[in-house]
Structure 1
């Protein structure tokens, strides 16, 4: 019998978003001590995702430059090329690239930062500028 107050939510698990799945796959790859195949990734995620879904996510991450793959027989062995912070930075760059007015987007982003985050960003930019001068 379905609980009408929750709309049957007990019958269907919550659907994960694309970004959440990508982060989970990347986390699984980072736990691996060597290159792994798609079946290993699927199993490490609990086995509740279809194998084809896992391969699709790995392929998308590869296209984004977030994971590496090497041919192993008829399939691939996968390794991470970046971590979760790198994946988040890639998403941020993609959003910025999709907007027409980069200056307005960056200005809006900076004004919405907390004072601590703004200070951290300034420090990172100063550090980056110092490295470019070397």
Structure 2
């Protein structure tokens, strides 16, 4: 799922605050310091996308991330691979750039998927 800059910054803030945040706190903490009304618009969009949940606390809403960051990262990776003209070349180039830790994580995930994990 593609996210705009403000949507991504909002999600990053919510992932950093799993206890949830109010819109005015989110607005004040974002680097661009958008108006609270702008943040509320973004939160409504993210809620409709199923990425954010909200619960009423007094007269305001407390917003929380409804999806884990790894879900969004995995979707972005899948979209990037889908957009590759030459999938094999893209994967090879990517694999050539990863750290040993990432390579090990890839091997482990593929082994689990293929049922060959020991």
- TM-based fold match above 0.5: yes
Indicate the RMSD between aligned Cα atoms, in angstroms.
3.7
Shift of 1:118: 1.2
TM-score w.r.t. the length of structure 1 is: 0.53
TM-score w.r.t. the length of structure 2 is: 0.58
Equivalent of 1:122 in 104, 107, 112: 107
1:13-52 equivalences in 2 (<5 Å): 18=5, 21-30=6-15, 31=17, 33=19, 38-43=23-28, 45=30, 48-52=33-37
Q: Which moved more, 1:48-57 or 1:61-70?
A: 61-70
Match of 2:77 in 1: 92
Q: Which has the higher contact order (CA 8 A, sep 6+)?
A: 2
Runs of at least 5 residues in structure 2 that lack an aligned partner in the other structure: none
Number of equivalent positions = 110
Equivalent of 2:93 in 108, 111, 115: 108
Runs of at least 5 residues in structure 1 that lack an aligned partner in the other structure: 1-16
